[in-house]
Amino acid sequence: MLEAKIDTHTHTIASIHAYSTLLENIHVAKEKNLTGLAVTDHAPGLGIGETFPKSYFGNMRKAIPKVVDGIRIIKGVEANVMDNDGNLDLPTSTFQKLDLVIASCHEKVVKPATIKEHDNIWENIAKNPWVDIIGHSGNGNYDFSHEKIIKLFKEYDKIVEINSSSFPHRKNARKNCRDIALLCKKYGVKITISSDAHFATDIGNFTESLNMLEDIQFPQELIVNRDLDILIETLPKVEK
């Protein structure tokens, strides 16, 4: 039976359109027997980050303990792809201070374009050494040449996110996530399963993703958040 023990994509009230504190998220993570929690609030490019200082992400390692109430805290960010060249909205100097960087396309920031242009985005993101996770991989508004780009993610050792919240909310996400997961299985590309929780009760909600992965007999060994030690070993920047 497949499982995930760390939620690698979650939001707090710092993201403005999320509604729980980090401590509330940690409480639910413990209730659900998770071993770790990544806090990955939105970077400022989404247009909702003006209410907290730019030092928010750079100060996380100093301010937040590694372990809170038995839950290992991974300090990260959901960075925004800003254009069709795959530029992100935080500087390298900030990424250097974080355990985890997710790169995501959001319609409010970068306008959906052609498959060729989306391929260019992900080609450049794949080559960005500071990006760990490809966020919202199944979003149909940013569809790409799946096989070509998944092979590139393998080459550059990126982790592909299967985002449970995308299934009911993002265009063609169920089909795309399944197709992408099958290609990750075929080429041995690592994945992570996430909730993208914007409220505490959604922390660790992996049901839709796990059901789909079970259905295609996805190999447990490619799920990096199946075990805390494995996740920490996989992420090159994480505090040991």
Chain segment 44-58, per-residue pLDDT in tens: 988 765 556 668 999
239 inside domain: no
1 inside domain: no
Interhelix angle 173-187/207-215, rounded to 10 degrees, is 50
240 inside domain: no
219 inside domain: yes
Domain span including residue 162:
6-234
153 inside domain: yes
Handedness of CA 177, 129, 116, 113 (dihedral sign): positive
Distance of alpha carbon 190 from alpha carbon 61, whole angstroms = 26
pLDDT at 168: 65
State how many domains the chain has: 1
pLDDT at 171: 63
Distance of alpha carbon 146 from alpha carbon 101, whole angstroms = 22
pLDDT at 52: 62
pLDDT tens string 199-227: 999 999 999 999 999 999 999 999 999 99
20 inside domain: yes
15 inside domain: yes
| Cβ partners under 8 Å of residue 9, min gap 6 | 38, 40, 78, 102, 133, 135, 161, 163, 192, 194, 195, 196, 197
pTM: 0.96
23 inside domain: yes
Q: Are 14 and 52 in contact (CB under 8 A)?
A: yes
pLDDT at 229: 98
CATH number of the domain residue 12 falls in: 3.20.20.140
Compute the mean pLDDT over every residue in the chain, rounded to the nearest whole number: 95
Burial class (CB in 10 A: 0-12, 13-18, 19+), 17: exposed
Q: Are 145 and 121 in contact (CB under 8 A)?
A: no
